[in-house]
Chains A and B, each alone.
Chain A
Amino acid sequence: MRRRLHGIYVLVERLKIRLSARFTPLGKSFLLLAVLALFFGIGVERTMIYHIFSLSLMLLLFSFLLSLRFSPSLRFSRMLPATCVAGREIRYRIRLENTGGGSLKGVYFREGATPRLPDWQEFAAAREEGEDGRNLFDRAMGYYRWLWLVKMGRKIMPLEQPLPDLAPAATQELEATLLPLRRGAVHLPGAVLGRVDPFGLCRREVMRGDECNLLVLPKIYAVPQLLFRGSRRYHRGGIAAAREQGDSGDFLSLREYVHGDPIKHMDWKATARSGKPIVKQFRDEYFSRYGLVLDSFTEKKYSPVFEEAVSLAASVMLAQDSFNAVLDLLFVENECVTCTVGGGIDGQQRMLEMLASVSTCGDKPFSELAALVRSHAALLSGVVVVYIDFDQERRDLLDYLRIRNIPVKAVLLVEDDETMAREKKKHHDLPLQIFKAGEVEEKIGSL
């Protein structure tokens, strides 16, 4: 039954997409009008609704026929950036050249986007946000869940923009806008050029321009650079990709003293000037290596809390001193993943791309991530843990890190105020900061 419903929803969605490509919102209203008028007006002796049916049908018919004659001959190109950030409108240039004999009038442009329809497995496994609040019928039919999944799968919002009238052989450059909605890789099959018929009911759209891909990165917040009390550790053999190995003795910069720095590197003059212990920093293989642990264990395919966690992780990663410290991102998706950035390794972009496409892990236990962190613990001078849930296993991991004397900054993201109050009461003894999803940006300063 569910499977059949899914099939019907897919068909309906495809029909909706086709209708939207062919009819304007007014045209769709007229279609509805024609169907209703046919239904109620079939008894031509009882009412005059058949007049409305006939009129709307003829208008739609003429409209449809007139909309067919649109095949613009123009050269079209657009300059899209490779990456953008979710929720932040991007502006890019488009270039038009009318190569036809006639002038182009009343044409609009929007970015074409192929919507991804949820497959059966995804539909069956997903739970809509707040689905428990829906009534029995809605839960059984799952149509709202379907709509929600379709919405979640929509990564960009193409905005329709009217193009100026173009005389033959005229060229024009314009600024176009696009709103990325959610992080992830987006395939843009081309730009859509369309024109509406005289009645404004039907339209014809043609695809122009090249295919391209756009990577929507997670939202980035302004996070303060994290400073740990943790000491520098000796990393045998350093990092393979680091620019220099060993204690080269090259002076690099001055920085604040952290526990473990050799006293001989103290810059006494600078210390005296600033009133804080300052050391000279050399390029060497003693460096701070931090861990950024991202908890992805939830059964939900789309979770606002997880989205916030990804954004927070990306923000923490970008805020770090990538030159003097190394940051390891640890998470579990289909398998355990470790990604290193900093210390001269230019991995920020790669890590952002990874975070742009990370998804939740519903089929593995948290212990896998805990084991990964434990295996890395010996190297780490500090750990930032971003939790999206909190249970005994997660508490054990925190305790483990504390016992090993590794400074930890742990953040738990929760969905609502109620959970936040409950969790705060339960874990008041832990160095755990609890933020509500959606309010991270305001609260992040206290991290």
Chain B
Amino acid sequence: MKIPPLTIGAALLLWGMESGKIVFALLLCLVLEGSYLLARRYSLDEDDFVKISDLTSLLFLGAVALILLNYEPLGFLRITTGWLPLILAPLITAQLYSTGDTVTIGTRLGTRKKAYTHRPIDFRFYYIIICLFAAAAANSRGPWFYPAATAIVAVVLFANRGRAYSPVVFVLLLLISSTAGYLGSMAMVKGHGYVVQNTFRYFYSYYRNKHANPFKTHVNFGDTGRLKFSGEILMRVSAAAPPSLLKESSYSSFQRGDWFSRQGRYEFLLPEDRVSWFLRADPPNEGATVKIELDLPKEKGLLPLPLHGYALRSATIFELERHENGTLKAVDAAPIATYEVDYAGPGRTDDLPTRDHLHVPEEEKYVLDRIAAELSGENLSASARLAAVAAYFATDFAYSLDLVGSGGFATPLGNFLLESKTGFCEYYATATTLILRAMQIPSRYVTGYAVYERSALEGKYLVRSRHAHAWSEAFIGGSWRTVDTTPPVWKAADAARADSLEGLRDVFSFLGYKYRLFRIGTGRDYTVYLSIVVAALTVFLVIRIYRRLKLERAGADTRRPSKTFTRRVTPFTPVVDALAAVDERRQGNESFSQWAARCRRWQNFDREEFSLLYGLHLQQRFDPAAGKEDHRQRLRQGAAKYLPQLQEKKQR
């Protein structure tokens, strides 16, 4: 691959201009392009290249550590890419200043082991591409990026173009394809916007962070099912006997497959003191306590709570808001919010049912009324009706994560209740809520998490994405009660979906969690100290590797000297040397004596004799021990005959 001079420099300058690192870019440009001006080269063997690779790897790891310490993890990749031209500079410098034209990438970290090496590569093209990526990662949105990048690529392409076409054709085609490329990138921007608009809601992260969006008040029928596929740990719960369910949010209206919350508002919740809040007007004197450590990457979100929670204490939540339906939202909190909630049995509540909690959608009435009629006996108490609903779902219904369609019914709910009788928690919760309403019991749809998996590693209960659950709450006897009709096998069925590497991931998650807790919990910022330690360690290791490099300056001809031999001289040597100085080129199939005869006009030239002399000369050179005095004598005579003729010509 041919890379014309100044191309690497141009790519570096583009990087510098785009990313604002122009000083580094200029310095690197001078160092790298200087290799075309300087004749100095170093003899680097494979071992040296491996050491330089290790050095580069260390620089890379050091840079990654510094970036992770000093920046948010979200921008890590972009920032690292932005510094790659500088991090990888040792490799390209080694190639440009070495006597070879390739670089061997390998590793030898772990001193005594044999180095692992890859096939030698020409790193120049890759370095140019890395510079372009780094320039693009800066995201300057400047108008010159595309033309400049195209020009750099065009120079490389021109040097390597097919011989069958003329430069004019090349330029024309380049203009066409670069214009098409520009139009293509414009189309990508448009297309990206379109795709984002249409698919954003399907992305998991949307659901994961949905609570950070204060305007979202609805949940899709099927949301929880999607969460079932992830084993990511969301919170850690400590309590001797934790509540089996942690409620996150509740919804009152069901329309066309979606649950909506009543149009209430979140209101600022006044703290009792700096670290505690009362959640009920009349907190009881004693109850159970549960400690929850919740992952809040955006530092805000809904707080899962046990039912009938009455007090909350936390040093890492700074501001809380509460919805009319009792949902709590942290507006300002640490990335890991640790809070304790006291909870007790039902008590007086401000969270009273409204008309919405008895509303049954018209399109679902055909099935709900039928079932409600089956289950409602005459003059049954509310508790007895509740028990009848629970008993109804306990028979003939099965658990499955497959989505159920409408089948031959008007709505999926009809199919679920009358035909398929299989589904997951959302089906059960929706059906239970609506059947209770049809039986005149105020009820609502609740989402949250089930707590049941205890970790031996952490000594706490782990709540994963997979543990997301939906159930119903019924308002009976002046307070809300949990009605969970999903078959209890759901926990085992979901746990069976966990992959085999989950245990390993949990260990890493635990370590990451401890590290983050350390950063938050100490309240002191060690970033600067840690950065200094990382930088010092990297520099120390880099110096160690650098000192092991055996940089040998190569000769002026940039070729590595091979073995040296003592030249063996015979009396005939001056003749051979004089002939070597003649301009005439020897043909491939020509013997020495033929060539000698041809390359000048001799007087008295005897080719056979000359051939014999040359043979004797070679014999003397390569096997001097076998040389006899009479051979040397003949060579002397031959030299005396032919040398004057050659010298004569020279003098002329």
Assess the B126–A29 pair: CB atoms within 8 A: yes
Among B135, B138, B150, the residue within 8 A (CB) of A55 is B150
Assess the B178–A58 pair: CB atoms within 8 A: yes
Known contacts A51-B146, A52-B149; A198 and B185 CB within 8 A of each other: no
Known contacts A49-B133, A55-B150, A199-B170; A107 and B181 CB within 8 A of each other: no
A44 and B141 CA atoms in complex are apart in Å by 11
A21 / chain B contacts, CB cutoff of 8 Å: none
Give chain A nearest CB distance to B455 CB in angstroms: 29
Known contacts A25-B1, A44-B192; A54 and B185 CB within 8 A of each other: yes
A49 / chain B contacts, CB cutoff of 8 Å: 133, 136-137
Assess the B164–A196 pair: CB atoms within 8 A: yes
Interface size on A, residues (CB 8 A): 43
Mask, A56-72, CB within 8 Å of B = 1, is 11110110001000000
Known contacts A50-B185, A54-B188, A62-B177; A105 and B153 CB within 8 A of each other: no
Give chain A nearest CB distance to B354 CB in angstroms: 42
A56 / chain B contacts, CB cutoff of 8 Å: 153, 181
Q: Which residues 177-217 in B have Cβ within 8 Å of A in the complex?
A: 177-178, 180-182, 184-185, 188-189, 192
A195 / chain B contacts, CB cutoff of 8 Å: 162, 164
Among B1, B132, B169, B189, the residue within 8 A (CB) of A26 is B1
Assess the B180–A53 pair: CB atoms within 8 A: no
Known contacts A55-B149, A55-B178; A198 and B170 CB within 8 A of each other: yes
B153 / chain A contacts, CB cutoff of 8 Å: 55-56, 59
Known contacts A49-B137, A52-B149; A57 and B181 CB within 8 A of each other: yes
B649: CB under 8 A from chain A? no
A336: CB under 8 A from chain B? no
A49 and B146 CA atoms in complex are apart in Å by 10
A198 and B172 CA atoms in complex are apart in Å by 10
B170 / chain A contacts, CB cutoff of 8 Å: 198-199
CB closest residue in chain B, given A29: B125
Q: Which residues 93-127 in B have Cβ within 8 Å of A in the complex?
A: 114, 125-126
Give chain B nearest CB distance to A294 CB in angstroms: 33
Assess the B173–A62 pair: CB atoms within 8 A: yes
A162: CB under 8 A from chain B? yes
Give chain B nearest CB distance to A148 CB in angstroms: 13
Q: Which residues 268-315 in B have Cβ within 8 Å of A in the complex?
A: none
A24 / chain B contacts, CB cutoff of 8 Å: 160
A344: CB under 8 A from chain B? no
Assess the A48–B164 pair: CB atoms within 8 A: no
A351 / chain B contacts, CB cutoff of 8 Å: none
A54 and B142 CA atoms in complex are apart in Å by 17
A41: CB under 8 A from chain B? yes
Give chain B nearest CB distance to A18 CB in angstroms: 20
B163 / chain A contacts, CB cutoff of 8 Å: 105-106, 162, 196
A24 and B162 CA atoms in complex are apart in Å by 10
Assess the B185–A197 pair: CB atoms within 8 A: no
Known contacts A53-B188, A55-B146, A55-B181; A199 and B157 CB within 8 A of each other: yes
B125 / chain A contacts, CB cutoff of 8 Å: 26, 29
B318: CB under 8 A from chain A? no
A87: CB under 8 A from chain B? no
Assess the B139–A106 pair: CB atoms within 8 A: no
A46: CB under 8 A from chain B? yes
A37 and B188 CA atoms in complex are apart in Å by 13
B189 / chain A contacts, CB cutoff of 8 Å: 44, 50
B646: CB under 8 A from chain A? no
Give chain B nearest CB distance to A403 CB in angstroms: 42
Give chain B nearest CB distance to A201 CB in angstroms: 8
Assess the A51–B192 pair: CB atoms within 8 A: no
B81: CB under 8 A from chain A? yes
A196 and B163 CA atoms in complex are apart in Å by 8
B165: CB under 8 A from chain A? yes
A61 / chain B contacts, CB cutoff of 8 Å: 177, 180
Give chain B nearest CB distance to A62 CB in angstroms: 4
A66 / chain B contacts, CB cutoff of 8 Å: 173
B149 / chain A contacts, CB cutoff of 8 Å: 51-52, 55
B642: CB under 8 A from chain A? no
A58 / chain B contacts, CB cutoff of 8 Å: 177-178, 180-181, 184
Among B140, B156, B160, B161, the residue within 8 A (CB) of A48 is B140
Assess the B136–A51 pair: CB atoms within 8 A: yes
B176: CB under 8 A from chain A? yes
B129: CB under 8 A from chain A? yes
B114 / chain A contacts, CB cutoff of 8 Å: 133
Assess the B188–A44 pair: CB atoms within 8 A: yes
Among B137, B145, B160, B162, the residue within 8 A (CB) of A106 is B162
Known contacts A52-B136, A196-B162; A33 and B181 CB within 8 A of each other: no
A47: CB under 8 A from chain B? yes
B568: CB under 8 A from chain A? no
B348: CB under 8 A from chain A? no
Known contacts A48-B139, A49-B133; A106 and B164 CB within 8 A of each other: yes
A221: CB under 8 A from chain B? no
A52 / chain B contacts, CB cutoff of 8 Å: 132-133, 136, 149
A40: CB under 8 A from chain B? yes
A200: CB under 8 A from chain B? yes
B600: CB under 8 A from chain A? no
Assess the B157–A47 pair: CB atoms within 8 A: no
A43 / chain B contacts, CB cutoff of 8 Å: 192
B77 / chain A contacts, CB cutoff of 8 Å: 40
A47 and B77 CA atoms in complex are apart in Å by 11
Assess the A198–B162 pair: CB atoms within 8 A: yes
Give chain B nearest CB distance to A8 CB in angstroms: 20
A399 and B391 CA atoms in complex are apart in Å by 92
A443 and B77 CA atoms in complex are apart in Å by 58
Assess the B182–A41 pair: CB atoms within 8 A: no
B78: CB under 8 A from chain A? yes
Give chain B nearest CB distance to A134 CB in angstroms: 9
A48 / chain B contacts, CB cutoff of 8 Å: 135-141, 145-146
Q: Which residues 278-311 in A have Cβ within 8 Å of B in the complex?
A: none
Q: Which residues 360-399 in A have Cβ within 8 Å of B in the complex?
A: none
A29 / chain B contacts, CB cutoff of 8 Å: 1, 125-126, 129
A37 / chain B contacts, CB cutoff of 8 Å: 133
A45 and B136 CA atoms in complex are apart in Å by 11
Give chain A nearest CB distance to B3 CB in angstroms: 10
CB closest residue in chain B, given A27: B160
B145 / chain A contacts, CB cutoff of 8 Å: 48, 51
A51 and B141 CA atoms in complex are apart in Å by 11
B156 / chain A contacts, CB cutoff of 8 Å: 26
B177 / chain A contacts, CB cutoff of 8 Å: 55, 58-59, 61-62, 199
Assess the B136–A59 pair: CB atoms within 8 A: no
A48 and B146 CA atoms in complex are apart in Å by 9
Known contacts A33-B129, A47-B137; A197 and B184 CB within 8 A of each other: no
A49 and B188 CA atoms in complex are apart in Å by 11
Give chain B nearest CB distance to A143 CB in angstroms: 13
A25 and B119 CA atoms in complex are apart in Å by 14
A25 / chain B contacts, CB cutoff of 8 Å: 1
Assess the A40–B185 pair: CB atoms within 8 A: no
Q: Report, nearest first, the 6 A-B pairs whose CB atoms are least far apart.
A: A106-B164, A106-B163, A196-B162, A54-B185, A54-B184, A200-B160
27 A-B pairs with CB atoms under 8 Å apart are A24-B160, A29-B125, A41-B136, A44-B188, A44-B189, A44-B192, A47-B78, A47-B81, A48-B136, A48-B145, A49-B137, A51-B145, A51-B146, A51-B149, A51-B185, A52-B133, A55-B149, A55-B181, A56-B181, A57-B184, A59-B178, A162-B163, A198-B162, A198-B173, A199-B170, A199-B174, A200-B162
A51-B145, A51-B146, A199-B157 known; 16 other A-B pairs, CB under 8 Å? Answer: A46-B139, A47-B137, A47-B139, A48-B139, A50-B188, A51-B149, A54-B182, A57-B181, A59-B153, A59-B177, A106-B162, A106-B164, A198-B169, A199-B161, A199-B162, A201-B157
Q: Which residues of B contact A (CB under 8 A)?
A: 1, 77-78, 81, 114, 125-126, 129, 132-133, 135-141, 145-146, 149-150, 153, 156-157, 160-165, 169-170, 173-174, 176-178, 180-182, 184-185, 188-189, 192
